[in-house]
Amino acid sequence: MGAAASRQMTPAEIQARAVCGARLPDGRKCGCRPVENPQTGFPRNGRCAAHGGWSTGPRTAEGLARAVTAMFEARGLTPRK
Ligand SMILES: [Zn+2]
């Protein structure tokens, strides 16, 4: 695991990338098209649907709290206080 592998890509780099490029178990690179955000029409993070292109979950504590609250509501449960 090198520094380049874990580094966040800049939006310009993501936009310039036409394929997902994730390393596959057999050493090749994934050639799928990256997932695009329907609202902006731009790729989300340059990865295809199979390699993390969709949401990776809440990024903030508030976001996580909102997601948990929504889950409880959807299931008809009461959150523990
Ligand atoms: Zn991929």
Q: What is the pLDDT of residues 14-63, one digit of tens each?
A: 666 678 888 999 999 999 888 887 777 777 778 888 888 777 677 888 98
Domain with 23, as residue range(s), is: 7-75
In a domain, 1, yes or no: no
Average pLDDT over residues 67-78: 89
Residue 67 neighbours by CB under 8 Å, 6+ apart: 57, 58
In a domain, 81, yes or no: no
**Dist. CA 48 → ligand 1 center (Å):** 4
**Dist. CA 61 → ligand 1 center (Å):** 29
In a domain, 2, yes or no: no
**Dist. CA 21 → ligand 1 center (Å):** 6
Residue 54 neighbours by CB under 8 Å, 6+ apart: 35, 44
In a domain, 27, yes or no: yes
Task: Quote the number of domains for the chain.
Answer: 1
In a domain, 80, yes or no: no
**Dist. CA 35 → ligand 1 center (Å):** 9
Is the per-residue pLDDT at 2 higher than 60?
no
In a domain, 43, yes or no: yes
Tokens found for residue 11: 């939006």
In a domain, 21, yes or no: yes
- The Cα–Cα gap between 68 and 23 comes to 33
pLDDT value for 1: 47
